[in-house]
Amino acid sequence: MTQEFAPLAGIRVVEMSHMIMGPSCGMFLGFLGAEVIKVEPPQGDKTRALSGMGRPFFPLFNRGKKSVQIDSASPAGRAALDRLLETADVFVDNFRDQSLARMGADPDDLRRRFPRLILASHKGFLSGPYENRTALDEVVQMMTGLAYMTGPSGRPLRVGSSANDIMGGLFGALSVVAALMERERTGKGRSIRIGLFENCLLLVAQHMVQFELEGVNPPPMPERDFSWPVYDIFDTLDGHQVFVGAVTEGQWRALCSYLDLQELLDDPGLQTRMDQINARARTLPVVARAIAGRNSAALGRDFEGMGIPFSPIARPSDMYDDPHVMRAGGLALSHLPDGTPFRAPSLPFEVDGAMITGGGEVPAVGQDTAEVLGRLGLSPDQIDAARGRVAA
């Protein structure tokens, strides 16, 4: 049996954050074994009340954490927060510095009072002309060119998930782990700032560097110049869509042979890959007609056996029926505070052949307040005062 992979066991993370970027950082650290204490105001994190596309935000990115209510506007709450931070290794936030100061967590003050503490502040921008701007995932996608590259000309589109927020949290967790390793040698913490804008900038780096090296501003991905003979979405006989790629000479020959397109194989104008790429305008309709006469299930089975890159055009909900996702360890089971179950993907790597399922339950507002603050030596009355009048 594989030994549990919990390299951050014994590390205490105090998190004051909301929405996605900060909470995802805490979630990743928790998956790796850290104790993550989410500090919430008396009324709870406002993210808990979101609906629609925002409904998964709190349960998904706060699994396995402890919830502690602290009224940071009160002297009792600030005193409790100080006691908690004295025991912490890492402080994760994604609020403006001014807001943190009002909550008793001014970064400069924390750096002075807790020199071993690692501060991981998730912001819209790193230091510079934009550092005080308000940012959202969609804002930085528009600013950096990612939205331009995603949609067709004149229709910039954000990518279909909160990719920057999640990836920003991942960079936060990565930098925290590195700072913890350094602290083993130096005994000192670090102040880390993670930028949503800079994260998105990294996602478009390949397009920036193309311009840098070739002087060419690449067209949006839906209109890109193709480097492959077949790299497209096709309709099938049973009304589905499938992506098919043929990017090598071997795949071109295999695809044409399978689809009974001997005329393409024999065509003297299609004998090199560049010939095949330059002739896409006339060859793709032929390939499309051939694929349109086949069922999607047969195509998928046969393409897999032939080593042809392919994929059905799936929806997120389809993943709950995907045999690869549903294999052991692919999904982690969690429960909302009312007992409602939900499944979410595990971390995308294996350790000694096993995935890190992590997960854990979603805490109710303040459910761990008495336990955590009690262990710090606070009396029941002090705990009630620290939680604020709403909780008391």
Per DSSP bridges, beta strands 12-16 and 90-93 are: parallel
* Beta carbons of 60 and 98 less than 8 angstroms apart: no
Burial label for 382, CB within 10 Å (0-12, 13-18, 19+), is middle
Clarify whether 275 is annotated catalytic. Answer: no
* Beta carbons of 198 and 185 less than 8 angstroms apart: no
Token pair of 350 as six digits: 């294996």
What is the C-alpha to C-alpha distance for residues 389 and 392, in angstroms, rounded to an integer? 5
Q: Up-side HSE of residue 78: CA atoms within 13 Å toward CB?
A: 11
Mapped onto helix, strand or coil, the DSSP state of residue 12 is: strand
* Beta carbons of 120 and 92 less than 8 angstroms apart: yes
State CA 190 to chain mean position distance: 24
* Beta carbons of 176 and 7 less than 8 angstroms apart: no
Q: Residues 165, 235, 238, 368: which is the catalytic one?
A: 165
Instruction: Name the residue among 330, 340, 372 with its Cα closest to residue 65.
Output: 372
* Beta carbons of 120 and 91 less than 8 angstroms apart: yes
Q: Where are the alpha helices (DSSP H) in 204-332?
A: 205-214, 249-258, 262-266, 273-278, 280-291, 296-306
Please list the active-site residues.
Answer: 165
